[in-house]
Structure formats: structure tokens, C-alpha cells
Amino acid sequence: MIAKFLTFFFLLFLLSCNQMAQTAPITSGQALDEAPARNIILMIGDGMGLTQVTAGMYRNGNKLNLESFPVVGLHKSYSGSSLITDSAAGATAFASGIKTYNGAIGVNMDTVPVKTILEEAETRGMATGLATTSSLTDATPASFIAHSPSREWFEAIALDYLKTDIDLFIGGGMKYFAHRQSDQRNLYVELQKEGYTVSDYQREDLSQARLNESKNFAYFTAEEYPPTVLQGRNYLPLASRIAVEFLGSHNRGKGFFLMIEGAQIDWGGHQNNSDYIISEMLDFDRAIGEVLKFAKEDGETLVIVTADHETGGYAINPGSTLDSIIPGFTTDGHTASLIPVFAFGPGAKRFAGIYENTAIYSKMKQALGM
């Protein structure tokens, strides 16, 4: 009798355990991720196809910081108007998750503005930043903060920097802010009035700039386009370190979104100049090293490195050695080959596989838990 009673209660116990297990929440994200990322750093090597990465690696003693990324994927770079994308449509795909026409900055096929991940991060109270070795009004950075039917409307694009509360930006294009043709506004002064610490290459070196943690920061590295690495430009690794440290402490506990562009890998491709490509590739890799140092210590930062497209149809021809690459090119424009994606940190696993360039936007948002 007692044995029967005990068996009954034991069965009841098993049944309730089973029910508890069934009602425990199962979320699809758990299969992929430990925890959401707090910060996202998207690094875009403009025109950086696999050969650009390869040539940089061999010429750097067969090593790159990129090699320490645990997850590698590939994206399909074509735009809404062409199999061969430009940087405007390419960056708009990352920033807003849509395929649009070549030349479009943060607008869709019908020229209607679309929200960018930087703007969404701002709305969420996150800190935000952009750093580039091109002009800040050029297509890649512009597509994260501006909305323009044409990538050529540089002064209009500069105005859009004052429409968000972006916390930090470093890059060229000072003339579109300070010496404007279309109106008499001086956006350099307006930024100061809005509480930005503003400085530039004529005033002081970036290494001398004093950032006030409670104020936003803007620094112009050139009147229009910054020089090349071969001409002595070396600020991107420093700008990257300043950006992650500043945004890391300035973000009021809500995390940050930062885009860093190595812009001139593309320009070396357009010139079919292998030394230009490799020097810019290695500069970009040094910036990657600075970002990785921060991300490894921080533990809550997802780092993604990719390109908008490949430039030049760059090849490493027979007869090349580790020290001397014999380059080949098929074009002085862009090509449509699959583009590598490297990911590190919480949410990195989402970036394995082959997917559309627009998926980078949705994967970043998923990783943030947005």
C-alpha cells in the first residue's frame, strides 16, 4: 500500500518536471548566441576583395590581424540597379538593409529616405561614430548618416551631420562644412555651438586633440580628400583607438555603433596600383588591430570587417613571391565577386555562410537584440 502511494507521488513528480521543461522558453537566438552584443564596430575596407586581403597578407610577412577573426562569411554585393555596385548602394545596403540604385545615399529605389542603423542606434540612446580616410561626405560614411538621391551633393550631405546627435566623426571634407558654396553657413562653427569639440588638421595633429568626455567630438583630417599612406597619412589606426576609447566611455551605458572605413584600398584599385592597394590594406589592418585590442578586453563588442565590393579585378599573377607580387587587373572599375566578411565577438556566428549584403544590416540588429 505504502509502496503504491510512493509510486503515485513519484509519477506525479515526474509529470510536473516534464511540464516545467516544456514550458521553459526556447528562443531561436539561443542556438546562435550567448548574449547580445552591447557595441558594434563595422569596418569597411572600400574595394577590399579577397586578392587585396591576400596581397596585403603576403607583403606583411604572411600575417594580418584579420587572421584572428574566428568567423568568415561571404556576401553578394550587387546593387538594386547593377550587378556591379558602387560604394553608395553598397554602404546603404549595410546601413539600411535595402538594395538601392548606384549613387543612392540612404534612399531607396524611389529616392525615399530610409532609416540607417546609426540613426536607429541614436534613437535607442547609443553613442555613434564614423571615421574614414576619405571625405566625411563621400559615399561610404555618408550612407550611414545622410539621405541624398545623389552621392555628389556633398554640401547637402554635410548638413545631415547636424541632423543627428552623432557623438564622434573623424575624416576629410572640411570644405563642405566650413567653406560652403551653396549657402553662407559655417557648419564648423555651428557644430561648436551645438557643443562639439571641433578641431582639424591645420590646427593640430589628431594625436594632440583633447577630447572632452562630456562633449561630442569632430575632427577634420583634410580640406577635401586625405593623402595616401604612401604620402605619409597614418591617422586611421589612431582615429580607431580614439573612437573606441571615447565611445566606450561616452555611451552612458547604452553601448555604441561605430563605422570605420579604409577608403583608399578602392582608390589603389581604380589606379591599378598594387603598391597603393597594399599600403592602404596594411593601414586598414593596423586599424583592425586597434579595434580588436579593445574588443578582446571589452568582451561585449561585435566587430565586423568587410568591403562594399572589389575594385580592379585584382590578381596575383604567376611568378609572384611573398616579397614581390606581380599584379594583374581586369578593369579600372569595380567587380561583382563575392566579398569576404570577418566577424569577432558576441553574435559573430551569424556572419558565417553566404548571404546578401543587406543581411549584414539585419544580422547586426539581431546581434544587438534590436
32-43: buried (b, 16+ CB within 10 Å) or exposed (e) per residue? ebeebbbbbbbb
Residues 135, 171 contacting (CB under 8 angstroms): yes
Torsion-angle region of residue 353: left (phi > 0), alpha (psi -120 to 50) or beta? left
Closest CA to 275 of 229, 225, 309: 229
Q: Which helix (H) or strand (E) holds 362?
A: helix 359-368
Per CB under 5 A, 92 contacts Mg ion? no
Closest CA to 59 of 229, 280, 366: 280
Which residue, 266 or 280, is less far from Zn ion as judged by CB?
Answer: 266
Count H helices and E strands in the chain, helices first: 13, 14
**Shortest reach from residue 268's CB to Zn ion, in Å:** 10
Per CB under 5 A, 46 contacts Mg ion? yes
Which residue, 226 or 346, is less far from Zn ion as judged by CB?
Answer: 226
Per CB under 5 A, 187 contacts Mg ion? no
Task: In whole angstroms, give the CA distance from residue 363 to residue 370.
Answer: 10
Residues 71, 360 contacting (CB under 8 angstroms): no
**Shortest reach from residue 309's CB to Zn ion, in Å:** 7
Judged by DSSP in three states, 22 sits in helix
- State how beta strands 301-306 and 353-356 pair: unpaired
**Shortest reach from residue 87's CB to Zn ion, in Å:** 6
**Shortest reach from residue 266's CB to Zn ion, in Å:** 4
**238 binds, options Zn ion, Mg ion, none, Cβ within 5 to 8 A by partner type:** none
Per CB under 5 A, 290 contacts Zn ion? no
Per CB under 5 A, 310 contacts Zn ion? no
Residues that bind Zn ion (rule: CB under 5 A) add up to a total of 1
Per CB under 5 A, 266 contacts Zn ion? yes
**51 binds, options Zn ion, Mg ion, none, Cβ within 5 to 8 A by partner type:** none
Stretch that binds Mg ion, among 80-88, 122-130, 242-250, 324-332 (CB under 5 A): 80-88
Which residue, 229 or 242, is less far from Zn ion as judged by CB?
Answer: 229
Closest CA to 87 of 72, 107, 98, 102: 102
- Residues in contact with Mg ion, shown as a per-residue x/- string from 131 to 160 under the rule CB under 5 A: ---------x--------------------
Per CB under 5 A, 87 contacts Mg ion? yes
Residues in the site for Zn ion, rule: CB under 5 A?
266
Residues in the site for Mg ion, rule: CB under 5 A?
46, 87, 140, 263
